[in-house]
Homo-oligomer: A and B are copies of this chain.
Amino acid sequence: MRIALDAMGGDFGPEPVVQGAAEAAEQLEGLEIVLVGDRQQIESCLTAAKGPAHRLEIFHCSQVIGMDESPVVGLRKKPDSSITRCWELMAGRTVDAVVSAGNTGAVVGAGLKTRLFLKGVKRPGIAVVLPTLKGPCVLIDVGANVFPKPEHLFQYGVMGSLYAQHILKIEHPAIAVLNVGEEERKGNELVRETHALFESSHLRDRFIGNVEGRDIYRGTSDVIVCDGFVGNVVLKVCEGLAEMVFTVAQQEVLGRLSAERDLARAAFQDIVQRYDYSAFGGAPLLGIDGICIICHGASGGLAIRNAIRVAANFADDHLNDLITEELNSSPRPAIAGE
């Protein structure tokens, strides 16, 4: 397997990215990684990282789309950016996967531009795996598509469910729509129509209806679909809230202890490690004819290594074949007004 890794993406520049790549190449046999970015910078990081040199190739490019840059402007003005080049390598079938911790909007935008969609897929969506009180849960879409149609959300249900089944090994994943209440008639037009689509589809037996925000972490369902605007806000709110709760809890609890303070501190650190979603290894952009794993901007070497591993699993499980098969073999659910 051959992966194009955006060496210039992320909040900390090429160092942790190259480090993660070197570790992944060391651990995963048969893996070739193409480091896409500025040759000079990558080479100096590689000297420090010491990976198996013959499996770490460099594809030089001269431009970088900044983390806070407008994706639209960045993609237009920087044709030699690492993100654009990664996708071109995949479109040309030189690599099987793209992994990037760069500007998410630009990674998605470049992907949409290639139109490298699986047969039958209307719009790709980003799936994240969230920890819950009852195990992992797939939330899709968290930002690829902020103007979705009901059919897009329905397809996210199909793809998210296959992801839950084959990557997370959840046998019969329960699918739900994120809404402001559980009743069928709740919410805006988009979620109501999406609800109706699921009810009339081959997934109806596994569709449990609407769930509310508070149900996500209670683990009420295994796959939750939502529009990319809502999903993105939710994901980032969670990041901010978890950060606050931890800061406050650590301060308060550690401040009151003395002899056992170090024990408590270690417990807090373990929780952070266990639940930190940025360490989970990135979120797949599902629906792409190829593999695209999007990492958190704050990814360190470990997160990058995990993301590369996720890309490898994705290929091993032939998830794309399963998605294409299910989308194209199932009778298309009736869409209101058609």
Whether the pair A236, B213 counts as a contact (CB closer than 8 A) is yes
Q: Kindly specify which of A29-37, A94-102, A115-123, A225-233 makes contact with the partner chain.
A: A225-233
> Contacts of A180 on B, CB cut-off 8 Å?
143, 146, 228-229, 232-233
Q: Kindly specify which of A41-49, A84-92, A182-190, A307-315 makes contact with the partner chain.
A: A182-190
Q: Kindly specify which of A14-22, A150-158, A195-203, A258-266 makes contact with the partner chain.
A: A258-266
Contact residues, A122-139 vs B (CB, 8 A): 131-133
Bound complex: CA A188 to CA B256 (Å): 46
A271 sits at the interface (CB 8 A):
yes
> Contacts of A259 on B, CB cut-off 8 Å?
259-260
> Contacts of A178 on B, CB cut-off 8 Å?
233
Contact with B along A234-245 (1 / 0, CB 8 A): 111111111111
Copies in the complex: 2
Asked, given contacts A180-B229, A259-B259, whether A270 binds B241 with beta carbons under 8 Å apart, the answer is no
Whether the pair A185, B70 counts as a contact (CB closer than 8 A) is yes
- Closest approach, in angstroms, between the C-beta of A148 and any C-beta of chain B? 10
Question: Could you say which of B182, B183, B237, B247 contacts A234, with CB atoms under 8 Å apart?
Answer: B237
> Contacts of A267 on B, CB cut-off 8 Å?
249, 252-253, 255-256
A248's closest neighbor in chain B, by CB?
A: B271
Q: Kindly specify which of A4-12, A215-223, A285-293, A317-325 makes contact with the partner chain.
A: A215-223
Bound complex: CA A264 to CA B260 (Å): 10
A143's closest neighbor in chain B, by CB?
A: B180
Asked, given contacts A70-B185, A180-B146, A242-B241, whether A235 binds B213 with beta carbons under 8 Å apart, the answer is yes
Contact residues, A158-199 vs B (CB, 8 A): 178-183, 185-189
Bound complex: CA A266 to CA B180 (Å): 34
Whether the pair B271, A252 counts as a contact (CB closer than 8 A) is yes
Bound complex: CA A239 to CA B245 (Å): 12
Whether the pair B260, A236 counts as a contact (CB closer than 8 A) is no
Taking beta carbons and an 8 Å cutoff, which residues of A are in contact with B?
A: 68, 70, 72, 105, 131-133, 143, 146-147, 178-183, 185-189, 212-218, 226, 228-230, 232-249, 252-253, 255-260, 263-264, 266-268, 270-271, 275
Would you list the 10 A-B pairs with minimal beta carbon distance, nearest first? A213-B236, A213-B237, A214-B240, A217-B240, A214-B236, A217-B244, A180-B232, A260-B260, A213-B233, A253-B267
